[in-house]
A and B are shown apart, each in its own frame.
Chain A
Amino acid sequence: MTSLSTTFYKLLCVIRKELLVTLKDPKIRFILLLPVIVQGMLFGYTASFNLDRVPYALLDQSHSSYSADFIARLEGSGIFQRVFTLSSTAQIAPAIDSGDVIAVVTVNQDFANQITAGTAAPVQVITDGRNPTTSGIAAGYISSIASAYSTELRGTPPAIEVVNRTWYNPNLITRWMFLPSLIPMLALTQVMMLAGLSVAREREQGTFDQLLVTPLQPYEILIAKAIPPMIIGTIQATLVLLLTIFWFGITPVGSIGTLYLTIFIFLLSSVGVGLSVSAISDSMQQVMVYCFVILLPMLLLSGLSTPIQNMPEVLQYATYINPMRFAVESVRRIYLEGAGLNLIAINYIPMLIVASITLPLAATLFRKKLS
């Protein structure tokens, strides 16, 4: 009993030391907190595939009441904002080239005649393919406005109505999908580097030997090195969570407890990777570079910005060893879907496997390096 409490107190002392060493420098505290908040804010606003504003150019050759009606409906949505009003087709190319508009809408001369004649009245839309995602969405918006207008003109509803419902994110707001994924992502970068650097720094500053001659067991040192980055990561994750809830007003549907359990397991695996990196590196510079080499694929193959399903099959299999992938998926589901442990637990398995490989690996590598 006493030996257990002594061990516990010993660990506590080492963890406290690690935290002090990391957080003592105000510049480091700053670099651990500010980026999280700034990035949370910026990405919260930027990371959107929702087009709230479509700058466009209009070439109205019809000048009829029909074309005015159509344009009124287009602009009435508040999304389409006219930047240029063109007077000839020759102006279309420069307008698109300038990059100031996403689309150019041309209403033909015989637009009104075609409508009254009961034939199809095409509206020409030219979009800027330099960003195919947004131009596709913009063209889609115009199409649906056109068909709504057609229905109105005809006075009869379509034969088949598609009743569309989106679960968990009824308005399909991209921010809802992004912000929860930032909770693990923003923590990951620095947690991995902190874990990686903690040993390299001790080695470069010569304090590692002093630590090793204490009666602390290697596993105790490892635990003590793993916990502080996890604490810092949890704080960072909490900051993003608070930002998401109170600034962006997106409340989590699922249980906060499950959310934190997921973050904990994710951080455990990231710290394991970080410590393994530090065990193979000789200097702080190497740690930073190798962490970076690992971080990039972790982020790109996480499904954070592009769906995993769009990737080639080989890469989809590669994502199975990426703890970030499962963290993003789990956090999104808990947050938006309210998914409980029964649905999420399966995602913990790959993360726990990564942790259970990297942590003992780090310990073994340390021991090897020492001898």
Chain B
Amino acid sequence: MSFRRLRALIYKECLQLTRDPSSFFIGLVIPALLIFLIGFGMSMDVTHIPTAVVLEDSSPTARSVVSFMNESPYFSPRYVTSMQEAKELMDERRAEAILRIPGDFSARLSEGRGKVQLITYGVDTTIANATTTYVQNGIARWQQSYLSGTAINGAPAIAGASSSATLSATPPIVPGSVTVDSRQWFNDANTSTWMFIPGLIVIVMTLVGVFLTALVMAREWERGTLESLFVTPMHASEIVFAKIIPYFGVAMIGFFICLLSARYVYEVPIEGSIFLILFASVEYVLVAIGMGLTISSVLKNQFLSCQLALLVSLLPTIMLSGFIFDLRSVPTAVNVISHLMPATYYMDLLKSLFLAGNNPVIIYKNCAILAGYASLFIGLSLLVTRKRLD
């Protein structure tokens, strides 16, 4: 391997990068777009649920039961007089849930058998689940005050009652009962943004690493620019490294954009060592570029490379790496498949390093696995890039 030839090839690659707007798009515009959309747009934290409240019992007690909704940031209640009306709201998608206080509510309550009806819209289960929990907690809180004979009017809102997990707000303390004192570690703000941002870094790295390198390498094969390059003293390994180095740079630029916006725009804490985050990212970029180069050198066709790169890298990264869905609760077969994906280990590392801190077990295990994948894919890309046309 000659440093001079490598430098010449890298210089050529950089010139091409600056002259093609589409590479620039993948390197900078897509990361910025993703940061904006995922950071601001994607959230599992359900608030302002439009709820139709049907007060068939108009007694002060009944009004008081549902009053927790009025001040809560989680609900936007809308009072209607009949179920018919509520159902129409639901059909027009202007209500996600219906809370019905039946006409005999007060009467039954005095007998200790009060009943309210909650109807949720199961088509979006995230909202439906959250609604159920919020309503149950709100009613339980009211019930607690009711039973202790205080504050019939103006039950405390559930918000702010617990500094940590809102979904599991403290249930009523009834003498002689088991209560749950729940605390959530690593996510003081209890916001899913904190979970998404590390995942976002993984997606950006995958995109630049696999998708962009697969495209540029396939383009060289398709346009026949390699045939004349081959009959020079250049080694096949030099063409591989000349692709790795510039796109490594592009990926790292994307990485720093993400890192800075994670820290300063979304204020995600960085509990672990920044050096380790950087190290893990370097490893993962090498894995991704190795995959991209291998795919394109085997297929030698832009459309196929792009589709395969999407299939084996980006979609699994979004769906299977634990980005949105928790891998601990998927069927074993899917779990096994997801643990074949390098992105899973990188995601695990990043989430821990960002939110939990330096955990030696996680770091050593995942770094070692990523190093293994990196050498595997870089090795494969060296193996399949031959100075041969057959």
**Given A46-B330, A143-B171, A158-B143, A167:B180 Cβ within 8 A:** no
Q: Which chain B positions have C-beta within 8 A of A167?
A: 90, 119-122
28 example contacts (A-B, Cβ-Cβ < 8 A) are as follows A42-B334, A46-B334, A49-B126, A53-B328, A98-B361, A119-B175, A121-B179, A129-B185, A129-B186, A129-B188, A132-B190, A135-B187, A136-B167, A139-B167, A139-B182, A147-B171, A154-B174, A161-B114, A163-B115, A167-B122, A177-B124, A190-B307, A289-B26, A292-B211, A309-B46, A310-B44, A315-B41, A336-B123
Report the interface size for chain A: residues with CB under 8 A from the other chain. 113
Most A-side CB within 10 Å, residue of B125, B132, B194, B352: B125
Q: Which chain A positions have C-beta within 8 A of B40?
A: 311-312, 315
Quick one: which of B279-310 are within 8 Å of A by CB?
299, 301-304, 306-308, 310
Give A42 to B119 CA distance when docked, in angstroms.
Answer: 31
Give A296 to B191 CA distance when docked, in angstroms.
Answer: 22
**Residue on A nearest B38 in the bound complex, by CB:** A300
- Say yes or no: is B320 at the interface (Cβ < 8 Å to chain A): yes
**Residue on A nearest B45 in the bound complex, by CB:** A310
Closest 8 A/B residue pairs (Cβ):
A169-B122, A129-B187, A150-B177, A139-B168, A136-B167, A289-B22, A129-B186, A160-B114
- Say yes or no: is B192 at the interface (Cβ < 8 Å to chain A): yes
Q: Do the beta carbons of B179 and A160 come within 8 Å of each other?
A: no
Q: Do the beta carbons of A169 and B125 come within 8 Å of each other?
A: yes
Q: Do the beta carbons of B303 and A136 come within 8 Å of each other?
A: no
**Given A167-B119, A172-B129, A150:B178 Cβ within 8 A:** yes
Q: Which chain A positions have C-beta within 8 A of B147?
A: 159
- Say yes or no: is B48 at the interface (Cβ < 8 Å to chain A): yes
Closest chain A CB from B155 CB (angstroms): 12
- Say yes or no: is A176 at the interface (Cβ < 8 Å to chain B): yes
- Say yes or no: is A61 at the interface (Cβ < 8 Å to chain B): no
Q: Do the beta carbons of B180 and A143 come within 8 Å of each other?
A: yes
**Given A128-B185, A130-B186, A290:B25 Cβ within 8 A:** yes
Q: Do the beta carbons of A122 and B37 come within 8 Å of each other?
A: no
User: What is the interface of chain A, defined by CB distance below 8 A to chain B?
Assistant: 27-28, 31, 34-35, 38-39, 42-43, 45-55, 70, 96-100, 102, 115, 117-137, 139-140, 142-143, 146-147, 149-151, 153-154, 156-170, 172-174, 176-177, 189-190, 193, 197, 201, 284-286, 288-290, 292-293, 296-297, 300-301, 303, 305-307, 309-312, 315, 329, 332-333, 336-337, 339, 343
